[in-house]
Amino acid sequence: GEDVEQSLFLSVREGDSSVINCTYTDSSSTYLYWYKQEPGAGLQLLTYIFSNMDMKQDQRLTVLLNKKDKHLSLRIADTQTGDSAIYFCAEKWNYGGATNKLIFGTGTLLAVQP
Amino acid sequence: ETGVTQTPRHLVMGMTNKKSLKCEQHLGHNAMYWYKQSAKKPLELMFVYNFKEQTENNSVPSRFSPECPNSSHLFLHLHTLQPEDSALYLCASSQDRVYEQFFGPGTRLTVL
């Protein structure tokens, strides 16, 4: 079965780095995603990583993938108050042929203290 | 309008009411999705439409009835809901089932 787990809450101070962790179960996942949800809004795709990569950097965001441990992390450098949101990890789960779906975690609420 | 829009943004209804949620995407995508987001639970995929055809129904109760008249519009018809159906209902679209999904802002539904 598919399962994606995240811790529910993370609090950091403005200017520090934030690291949000995620574990997943499907070793055949081709893509793993990080989405951001601000209050009252839908999910916004932040970044994604292909399963044959170990790391991807995009400005302040660094995604690390450990396929052996099925562990994904999102590091936000120089965290700002505007980064306060819920962050969802998702894996693309293939269940036959071209059919696949996204499996989401419960989300991690990031609170940035000024 | 750009992206994925949803109306209404907020809805309060009684258990005997009938209402509909609307989603529209302006991205030229051909796959559309309904998700349910409840507090402290993972997003639950409810329905998937690809080229207007329903390709997935994740054991959703029949009091939720989706409709996809064309690739740009998706509806969720609601009838005799229960208080536990109160949640944020998110619509998403993607180019085929392969590529990343773009989400609307959601409809916050409260069932009294």
What does each C-alpha distance from B6 to A101, B23, B95 come to in angstroms?
22, 4, 18
What CA–CA distance (Å, rounded) separates B112 from A51?
44
Q: What is the pLDDT of residues A28-52, one digit of tens each?
A: 777 899 999 998 888 999 999 998 8
Residue B4 with chain A: CB contacts under 8 Å: 42
Closest by CA position to A91, among listed A62, A70, A75 = A70
Q: How many CB pairs under 8 A join A and B?
A: 46
Q: How many helices (H) and strands (E) does chain B have?
A: 0, 11
Q: How confident is the model at residue B18 (pLDDT cuts 50, 70, 90)?
A: very high
Q: What is the pLDDT of residues B77-96, one digit of tens each?
A: 999 999 999 999 999 998 87
CB contact under 8 A, A4 and B43: no
| Strand ranges in chain A using DSSP code E only, listed in sequence order | 4-6, 9-13, 18-24, 31-37, 43-50, 55-58, 61-66, 71-76, 85-94, 100-104, 108-113
C-alpha distance from B74 to closest chain A C-alpha (Å): 16
Closest by CA position to A32, among listed A107, A96, A109, A88 = A88
